[in-house]
Chains A and B, each alone.
Chain A
Amino acid sequence: MQHHLNDEYLMDYAAGSASQPLSLLVATHLALCPECRAKVAAYEALGGALLDSAAPSAVAPDLLQSVLDRLDEPTAPESRIRRQPQVFDETTRRLIPEPLRSHLGASLDALAWSSIGRGVHQVELDIGGAEGFKTRFYRIRGGCGVPQHTHDGSELTLVLGGSFSDGIGRFGRGDVSIADGDVVHQPIADPGDDCYCLAITDGPLKLTGPVGRFLNIFMRY
């Protein structure tokens, strides 16, 4: 994998301040990228240290007792992600990791695709808590490209299958392309397999400026 997420996105995700669409893109990249997963673990360790050093605040005096009283409550089995393996075909299970798979909700062939140009289809995903963001999933036939589009903010694109190239480089499975609103780039899917990608655009706030490199804290010291 060549193109990773910038550290500010990883830190926002670890801290819990990333928007819902950005969290979906980050988490799906993490499923494919052990390197960024390790960075998120380091940023979470920073969160743990901040929690541990926080000044204590008084909780309700009976809070401990009410928690103790509930320890033996039977709980509904809490599966972190509801698995519905029967819903997805083999290709979808192989190409699309969680959490994106559950958000798509159906196999690649069964999605409600709409055509937006020669060889290009999209589905708009509706994820909550996402004012100002658009979350789209694309299927681009080899040799075809997303029609040039403009937006005020930035666009992050994560490749799940196939690959595409633009003026900046070649992006394959797991790679993330980050384009500022003022960067004009037109990704073209490379010949061969269909290219599947998840793209989010932000509206009200600009997501990113020039790429800043944060040092890898905690992993190697």
Chain B
Amino acid sequence: MSAQVCEELLVAVGRNRDRDAFAALFAHFAPRLKTYLVRIGAGGEMADEVVQEAMLVVWRRAETFDPSQASASTWIFTIARNKRIDALRRVRRPQIDPEDPALVPDAPKAADEAMADSQRADAVKRVLTTLPEEQASLLRQAYFEDKSHSTIAAESDLPLGTVKSRIRLALDKLRQGLQKESI
């Protein structure tokens, strides 16, 4: 499903409480969220439970989704990430409060950064498939296996500097791919 379609469905859920749109989002994201949660360490039943909780949050907060800030898949990823931290660590993930008067606000977006987030999301997805397996697997460890840079280093018996430079290679490759996409 393209990022544009996901965005339209999510906006329809937010604006019109559209249950069909929600079911379509569920059909696409729930099985992928399950893969994410199982790989990151939630057992089968618990994974289904967290998928359910995350999709309920998607329904309840859909009206706060802002397509100019993030793509639908990114927004749903952050919800699932927070839900599984709450569920597995039994603590709240520390995060900023956008309404906090002490928060230093963003500068207005520059015109050359105005590429739509949904377009960007599709581009990132396409470029991801072109990464060499070794680099893609490193990114999956970082995002899908709850491994910080220092944990990856400790487990693979590599110096932290080596892990960092390998991840940097992967990011460089992504960036080059994205540059080509935007020409």
Contacts and interface: CB of A to CB of B under 8 A. Distances in A.
Contact of B91 (A20, A81, A220, A221): A20
Nearest to A128: B91
A24 interface: yes
A35 to B, nearest CB: 9
B9 interface: no
B148 A18 contact: yes
A212 interface: yes
A93 B102 contact: yes
B175 interface: yes
Contact of B26 (A41, A57, A67): A67
Chief secondary structure at chain B's binding surface: helix
Given A99-B95, A128-B89, A12 B77 contact: no
B125 A53 contact: yes
Nearest to B29: A51
A97 interface: yes
A103 B94 contact: yes
Contacts, number: 243
A31 B100 contact: yes
B60 A45 contact: no
B31 A56 contact: yes
A51 to B, nearest CB: 5
Contact of A209 (B6, B124, B160): B160
A55 B31 CA distance: 8
A34 B110 CA distance: 14
Interface of B: 3, 6, 19, 22-23, 26-27, 29-36, 38, 48, 51-52, 55-56, 59-60, 69-78, 80-82, 84-85, 89-91, 93-97, 100-107, 112-113, 117, 120-121, 124-125, 128-129, 139-140, 142-144, 146-151, 154, 159-161, 164-165, 167-168, 171-172, 174-175, 178-179, 182
Interface of A: 8, 11-12, 15-20, 23-24, 26-28, 30-34, 37-38, 41, 44-60, 63-64, 66-68, 70-71, 75, 78, 80-81, 83, 93-99, 101, 103, 127-129, 174, 205-210, 212, 214-215, 217-221
Contacts of B94: 20, 23-24, 26-28, 99, 103, 127
